Amino acid sequence: MAQGFGELQKKASANISKAALTTGGNTLFERVKQAAGGEKKSLQWYRATTQKLALQYKKNFDKFIRDERRDSLDTGINQDQNQLRRWAVQGHMYLFEYKDPKFIKKLRYYDTYPLVYCIRSNKEEFWGINFHYIALKKRIVAASKLAQGRIDVPKASLHKYLLRHVDQQLLLDVAINEWDTVVLLPIENFVRDLNGLQFPIRREDVWEDTDENFYDKYKGRRVVKGYGTPESIEMAK
DSSP annotation of 3:
P
How many whole angstroms separate alpha carbon 208 and alpha carbon 108? 14
**What is the per-residue pLDDT for 98?**
93
**Run of H or E including 205:** helix 203-212
**Count of CB atoms situated within 10 Å of the CB of 142:** 22
List % helix, strand, coil for the chain (3-state, nearest 5).
40, 20, 40
9 CB burial (10 A radius; 0-12, 13-18, 19+)? middle
Strand partners, 43: none
Q: What is the pLDDT of residue 74?
A: 55
Question: What are the average pLDDT values for consecutive 10-residue runs of the chain, which has 237 residues?
Answer: 37 43 60 77 74 69 69 54 90 91 83 96 96 96 95 97 91 90 88 89 97 96 93 89
Alpha carbon distance 168, 103 (integer Å): 20
Taken as a whole, the chain contains a residue count of 237
The domain spans of the chain are 1-80, 81-237
Rounded to whole angstroms, the Cα distance separating 109 from 205 reads: 11
- 151 beta partners: 220
